[in-house]
Amino acid sequence: MSIDFARARETMVEQQVRPWDVLDVRVLDTLAQVPREAYVPEALRALAYADTELPIGHGEIMLKPVLEGRALQALGVQAHESVLEIGTGSGYMAACLARLGREVVSIERHPDLAEAARARLAAQGVGNASVQAADAFAWAPGRTFDVICVTGAVATVPARFVEWLAAGGRMFVVHGRSPAMEAALVHPGVNGLRIESLFETDLPYLAGAEPTPVFTL
């Protein structure tokens, strides 16, 4: 049987994302227009609009639609802004960010995932997003970005990520110890970091950003 993906997309927006207080019109329009099924592994395409995480290989996941919606709303990407995404995954978030901003640079530590995401973005005609195969803890962008979206969790906010933010920039990141993690918007300033708490969640850690093991006797 064939799936009406347009109807499924509309249902996702109206029954999953909007009820979770995602009310930004540009974000809702983006989620309603970007074909999520085009970024989902073929075998899981029927689940493209389900309220669940989807495995994409290497133990990596595609975030729930509601989490993607909340992250996009929190970042408030404007049409003139540059975006760095840390953790490309399927390429779907890069496509959404590219629709909202001027340009997206996305990095993915698994070369095969990076290549697949690059191909999906090209197939969808997304010309203002580029994908690089790189480890965020060994990579140096040589520039700053207005917005950073981190799609995996970190135990603590890495200083190197903060350094990549332009003045007045902001970063969405999930930090803390599983299972009680906090999604936050990080704003650097002259008096240090301001961390704005958004909601509680639980995500797999970015490789290299896991907490130090706690040994108990």
pLDDT in tens, 113-131: 999 999 999 999 999 999 9
Portion of the chain with pLDDT greater than 70, in percent: 98
Per-residue pLDDT, 107: 98
Burial of 155: CB neighbours in 10 Å, binned 0-12, 13-18, 19+: middle
Q: Following DSSP, what letter does each residue of 50-99 receive, concatenated?
A: SSS-EEEETTEEEPPHHHHHHHHHHHT--TT-EEEEE--TTSHHHHHHHH
The reported pTM is 0.95
Tracing tokens 């990095």 back to the chain, one arrives at 107
The predicted structure's pLDDT at residue 189: 82
Q: Is there a contact between 63 and 88 (Cβ–Cβ < 8 Å)?
A: no
Mean pLDDT to the nearest integer, 154-165:
96
Residue pair 30/72 in contact (Cβ under 8 Å)? The answer is yes
When pLDDT is averaged across residues 25-47 and rounded to a whole number, the result is 97
pLDDT (tens digit per residue) in 177-206: 999 999 999 999 888 889 999 999 999 999
Q: Which band of pLDDT confidence, cut at 50, 70 and 90, is reported for residue 80?
A: very high
pLDDT of residue 192: 84
